[in-house]
Amino acid sequence: NLLSLGEEPPSMLWGLDPMFNAFNRLYVKDILQMRESCQVAGIYFYKSHPIFEREDFFFDDATGVINSLCWKDEQWRDQGDPATCNSARGKFNPANELKKLRQAQHSSSHLEIGELLRVRARQDLQTTERYNVSDPVMAVQISWMMEVPQLYRHGSASYLLGRPTRILKDFLKEKEITRFRPYDVQDVLQPQEPEAGPSSGTTTSFKQLRELLQKSLQILQDECFVFHKVKSQDEVCHVTERDNDLLMAIRDILREDCRREKCKGISPLLTPFDVRQRYSRNVSKAALELVLKALECNSDIISYFVV
């Protein structure tokens, strides 16, 4: 039903109404009773307030409201009763069986306003799966809302790479390794599975293992647990706390500065410059702080504050 021109305000004044551009939650009864504007198609009025987009469904995924438009499939249109068969009662009727099958499929996938749905889809693109959830007291929905943050957290890259990084770090500490090449520790991240025959996925598994090792070593390098003394194709990784050459270089720098009459030590701010000149330019400030802390734990050096 269309409103008459005298029952609705002019279209130029619709923008002054706060309900025009806002998201309005209405009861199904009110939505069905809304009347369409005679000035602009697609605009409906609720108690003299213009409402935009009445035909939309809204899904709540516990992180916000996703605006999605649902179109009814043409195959669910009522095609009328199938032609009656003159065969005897009790015999198999393909038309009736097909109709029952369509009704069962329609009842499981039919959507109504206000129903609770479980949706699987790419974000803001198209739905790949949906089905009704029978949950009158919202127990399943509450459980899902509590589970979603954990799924998002477990799906992050830092969480997924945490376990292989810890395995690699514990292996280097346990074996007291000072330097290594990436392919030397690649087998450490190999999953403990029973031996099997050759399969077509061997190449893919090797690439995935290689990529996992590179990402884990990058995390260890960001944490300054390992570093590269020389940048080359055959990169050798040095364990920061167990690199004897780096420890000796820092001790020599501190010993020389302590021998000066006016100096009773050296500031940690000046140490990186001297170490990069004598040892390697790839040693970061955070790695040097880690080595200085290890030397102090072994009582090789002491640190103090000057007021």
Instruction: Give the C-alpha separation, 292 to 116, whole Å.
Output: 59
**What residues does 118 pair with on adjacent strands?**
131
**What integer pLDDT is reported at residue 211 of this predicted model?**
86
Say if residue 110's pLDDT is above 80: no
**What integer pLDDT is reported at residue 188 of this predicted model?**
86
pLDDT tens digits, 187-197: 888 764 434 44
Instruction: Give the C-alpha separation, 29 to 8, whole Å.
Output: 21
User: What sign does the dihedral 123-127-131-132 (CA atoms) show?
Assistant: positive
**Which of the pair, 85 or 230, is modelled with greater confidence?**
230
Domain range annotation of the chain: 11-55, 96-154, 160-190+205-239, 243-297
Residue 83 C-alpha from the chain's centroid: 53
pLDDT tens digits, 206-264: 888 888 888 888 889 888 899 888 877 667 888 988 888 888 888 888 787 777 666 55
User: What sign does the dihedral 293-295-298-302 (CA atoms) show?
Assistant: negative
Lowest mean pLDDT among 67-81, 196-210, 259-273: 67-81
| Topology given in CATH for the domain delimited by 160-190+205-239 | Arc Repressor Mutant, subunit A (1.10.10)
Long-range contacts of the stretch 48-53 (C-beta < 8 A, 24+): 48/8, 48/9, 49/17, 49/19, 49/20, 50/8, 50/9, 50/14, 50/17, 50/19, 50/20, 51/19, 51/20, 51/24, 51/26, 52/20, 52/21
**What integer pLDDT is reported at residue 194 of this predicted model?**
39
8 A C-beta contact, residue 282 and residue 230: yes
Say if residue 35's pLDDT is above 80: yes
Instruction: Give the C-alpha separation, 90 to 242, whole Å.
Output: 86
**What integer pLDDT is reported at residue 150 of this predicted model?**
75
**What integer pLDDT is reported at residue 103 of this predicted model?**
80
Lowest mean pLDDT among 7-11, 50-54, 162-166: 50-54
Instruction: Give the C-alpha separation, 250 to 295, whole Å.
Output: 9
DSSP class per residue in 80-108: -PPPPP-SPTTS--HHHHHHHHHHHHHHH
Lowest mean pLDDT among 26-35, 64-73, 211-220, 292-301: 64-73
User: Which architecture, in CATH terms, is 96-154?
Assistant: Beta Barrel (2.40)
pLDDT tens digits, 120-150: 665 555 566 777 778 887 888 888 888 877 7
Using CA atoms in the order 160, 162, 168, 172, what is the torsion angle rounded to 10 degrees?
A: 170
Instruction: Give the C-alpha separation, 197 to 200, whole Å.
Output: 10
Tokens found for residue 226: 């390992």
**Which of the pair, 210 or 27, is modelled with greater confidence?**
210
Burial class (CB in 10 A: 0-12, 13-18, 19+), 234: exposed
**Angle at the Cα of 269 from the Cα atoms of 255 and 304, rounded to 5 degrees:** 60
pTM for the model: 0.46
Instruction: Give the C-alpha separation, 52 to 49, whole Å.
Output: 10
pLDDT tens digits, 265-280: 566 655 677 777 888 8
**Angle at the Cα of 289 from the Cα atoms of 262 and 305, rounded to 5 degrees:** 40
**What residues does 302 pair with on adjacent strands?**
none
